[in-house]
Chains A and B, each alone.
Chain A
């Protein structure tokens, strides 16, 4: 290892360090949503029957469909990272593009779902909702804020993955330098994990 090129600071990559940093950021995300899960649990324990009725008003079909979409997108981004590590740039690009597309499908479903609910007058502070029991108002408040915050994470994830797609195209993510792609994938997987918890909390609320 001689020569200026290998010692140049610009060429230095701390693979382990950047992955650890990404995980630390994910911990803050886990605790952010964790706080909301605790809030949900506290109100669920107090208004169990209202939460159950609220859950039955949601569209379970769309909830499950979006779960399948996100689980599939998690698999495609995992394959994309594996493909890049093995030097299969083409497969990596296709799987990453599929992930972005599935993310957009998720948002499309979300838009259809929210429009239908808002159309029925079920949105925070709506006259329709204010006439309902207090627990149902809280349920829908939590529903919009938690799935809304999750939706923002999906949008952020799509932006990050699109950026990675462009980096692969420009060859700044390669077989030997794929740390950023892997970290972007970690973020997308966490967005998937959060949705795994949101499905039973809202759509299957007992």
Chain B
């Protein structure tokens, strides 16, 4: 055990399978909403479901849930920066 990583958190396989099933369900929900309800609803569905799916991948598949607050806050800052830019874009578009 010369290079053992005692702090590494091992995620059980079952967690990954459950997250995968949830991701498939959310994908189905997104497609059905967009196709059945159309227009406005599909925009809101996209704005809610898509970040939720990305969040599940970040949190569970990419182990973010088990990382230190330092790394978590770095990821949060990067994503906040991107959201801020997109927010500015729509602010600019709506007052054009």
Residues of A within 8 A of B (CB): 6, 11, 13, 15, 19-20, 23, 27, 30-31, 34, 37-38, 41-42, 45-46, 60, 64, 67-68, 71-72, 74-75, 77-79, 82-83, 85-86, 176-177, 182, 185-186, 189-190, 192-193, 196-197, 199-200, 204, 206
Residues on the B chain within 8 Å of A13, using CB? 3
Q: Judging by beta carbons under 8 Å apart, are B89 and A41 in contact?
A: yes
Min CB distance B70 to A, Å, is: 9
Residues on the B chain within 8 Å of A192, using CB? 57, 61
Interface size on B, residues (CB 8 A): 48
Q: Judging by beta carbons under 8 Å apart, are B12 and A34 in contact?
A: no
Q: Judging by beta carbons under 8 Å apart, are B78 and A27 in contact?
A: yes
Min CB distance B28 to A, Å, is: 9
**Cα-based distance from A193 to B62 in the complex (angstroms):** 10
Q: Judging by beta carbons under 8 Å apart, are B62 and A34 in contact?
A: no
Contact of A177 among B3, B11, B43 (CB under 8 A): B3
Residues on the B chain within 8 Å of A77, using CB? 61
Q: Judging by beta carbons under 8 Å apart, are A30 and B20 in contact?
A: no
Secondary structure class of chain A's binding surface, majority of residues? helix
**Cα-based distance from A185 to B63 in the complex (angstroms):** 10
Q: Judging by beta carbons under 8 Å apart, are A200 and B50 in contact?
A: yes
A–B complex contacts, Cβ < 8 Å, 13 sampled: A13-B3, A27-B75, A30-B78, A38-B85, A41-B90, A71-B24, A74-B61, A75-B20, A77-B61, A182-B63, A185-B62, A196-B54, A204-B31
**Cα-based distance from A189 to B42 in the complex (angstroms):** 25
Say yes or no: A6-B2 contact (C-beta < 8 A), given A75-B19, A206-B39: yes
**Cα-based distance from A79 to B67 in the complex (angstroms):** 18
